[in-house]
Amino acid sequence: MRKSKNRLGIISQLATLPFIAFALFILIRSVSGYGVTNQSLSKANVQEIVETYAIQCYASEGSYPPDIQYLVDHYGLILDEERFIYEYDIFASNVKPEIIIIDNIFGNEAP
């Protein structure tokens, strides 16, 4: 009688293993997906921050900065050039510049 209870216990434990493995798979997949989403949001936040600095410059000085380095030098903007490439295209000093943030796939070897 005792042996059959042990077998039933082992069988029931083995039957739950696939469910536990599936739950772990879902958990790991959702956590790895979170990292990709978090990076995308971070890039959007960086773009918003750079645009805010440019608008602040326009409000203070009456013109948009000539380049992104101006924001670094005069407004304290900190750029993460290891992670992103910053494109700053200005048409005129009174027209909002086009600011594009691109993932830097080269790391420290940015062109």
At residue 108, does pLDDT exceed 80? no
Give pTM, 2 decimals.
0.60
Asked if 30 and 44 count as a contact pair (C-beta separation under 8 A), the reply is no
Q: For residues 18, 24, 30 and 31, what is the CA-based torsion angle, rounded to 10 degrees? A: -170
17-27 per-position pLDDT tens digit: 676 666 666 66
Task: State the burial class of residue 97 (Cβ atoms within 10 Å of its Cβ: 0-12, 13-18, 19+).
Answer: buried
Break the chain into its structural domains and give their ranges: 2-103
Asked if 102 and 59 count as a contact pair (C-beta separation under 8 A), the reply is no
45-96 per-position pLDDT tens digit: 899 999 999 999 999 999 999 999 999 999 999 988 888 999 999 999 999 9
